[in-house]
Structure 1
């Protein structure tokens, strides 16, 4: 996960899809670990754990990459802190997918 300044005062949070420690688990659970899936992860985490971030950045994923952008670097740092643990912790990812699906959330992957 990288946080970069793309233009003066404009920041992007990037995650290359297919590079996390939980990709195989995501596939076993019936999802494709692409940029759109990671957007769903971010949306679910924001809605359940950090609602104060809602609407403070924009999503712009692609098949091979998750991307969120904002003029507020701090907001993207907070988003990175939410997502990063899920990229490395299989139990956390399994719980997230199970909880999301139980609540009716659908990943767009």
Structure 2
């Protein structure tokens, strides 16, 4: 799994392919589909201060956020430990469900 930062004609994006992530089993066990839309929701819940400065263009097979390179680098640093850790993903999902957050997966 690779999180990629892109710069195309001055537009910055951060992407990663879904499926095959270390956290997928924990996401599925919590009753969610570990697709790009799920990860978009997790980002919006866990890091709302970053998420509000980004635009999202996720798909079933890919997470995609568009924004400034500094915001995307901040998001990459925050999310990388989560998508590689079933325990971290479970913790955020549990906090989201307790708060009534609805994932759109």
Q: What's the TM-score, normalizing by structure 1?
A: 0.89
Extract unaligned runs of 5+ from structure 2. none
The residue aligned with 2:82 is 86
Q: Deviations over 1:5-53 (max 9, x none)?
A: 1x22111100101131011121111110000000011101212xxx2x2
- Let me know the Cα RMSD of the aligned residues: 1.1
1:60 pairs with 53, 57, 60, which one?
57
Q: How many residues align?
A: 103
Extract unaligned runs of 5+ from structure 1. none
Is 1:16 aligned to 2:13, yes or no? Answer: no
Q: Deviations over 1:81-101 (max 9, x none)?
A: 111111111111111000000
Matches of 2:29 and 2:40 in 1, distance apart? 19
1:99–1:56 CA distance, 2 compared to 1 (3 A): same
Matches of 2:72 and 2:82 in 1, distance apart? 16
| Structure 1 runs of 4+ with >6 Å offset | none
1:9–1:84 CA distance, 2 compared to 1 (3 A): same
The residue aligned with 1:35 is 36
